[in-house]
Amino acid sequence: MTEKHLSSQFDMELSGISTRVLEMGGLVESQVALAIYALTHFSGETASQVLEAEERVNQMEVDIDADLSAIIARRQPTARDLRLLIAISKTIGNLERVGDEAARIARTVQRLINMGVSSRLRLPVSDVSFEADLATSSLRKSLDAFARLDTQTAVEVIKADNEIDAEFDGLMRKLITYMMEDPRTISTAIDLVFVAKAIERVGDHAKNLAEQVIYIVKGTDVRHNSPATVESIIK
């Protein structure tokens, strides 16, 4: 991922850190997928798996962050190397928050199961699943963009965030309609509102990861810019 350095040891350290970030990314991606499976299949066992992985994700963030601090103190990197390390620090923070959202969904599933609502749930769970497919696709692409430092893929992720937001807005309208038509669904529908919001935040974090890829490659902070502006920056 990095250019050649006079110190091959430094190269190895940067490569090792980047590999661990991708491992962490793969774990949180799996967490999200399992959380959605738990929701759509009302699987308490799968929800428990998501929660069991949370501690591991948190520890990975702490360990990688500590190693980043040690590398910066020892190597005093400059230019692109420093950008890479700063971006990695922000990336693992976003990945940890993705894990938090997955855990939030898993806890909601457990609560729904404990309330005994699974057999009478008449709500747009399939729409939640579609929103999740969009968000997990963005997360996967952002991790791929990080692995290859691919700014074009990063832009695609940034653009896709609007689609995820639109899906979330549409889902909110459907849930409101369900609650108005059948007050018995209100409690469960509210739970799905929080699930949908958690998924929308996964998409936001994927977008943040993509923005960090562009920062590494171009040295430009593209946060709070429109997709069109970002696209012009990478050209």
Q: What is the pLDDT of residues 216-227, one digit of tens each?
A: 999 888 998 898
Among 51-65, 79-93, 118-132, 164-178, which is the least confidently predicted range?
118-132
The predicted pLDDT at position 121 comes to 57
Closest Cα partner for 217 from 43, 68, 80, 63? 80
User: What b-and-e string marks burial along 12-30, b requiring 16 or more CB atoms within 10 Å of the CB?
Assistant: ebbeebbebbbebbebbbb
pTM: 0.91
How much of the chain is helix, strand and coil, in % rounded to 5? 85, 0, 15
Q: Quick one: pLDDT at residue 205? A: 97
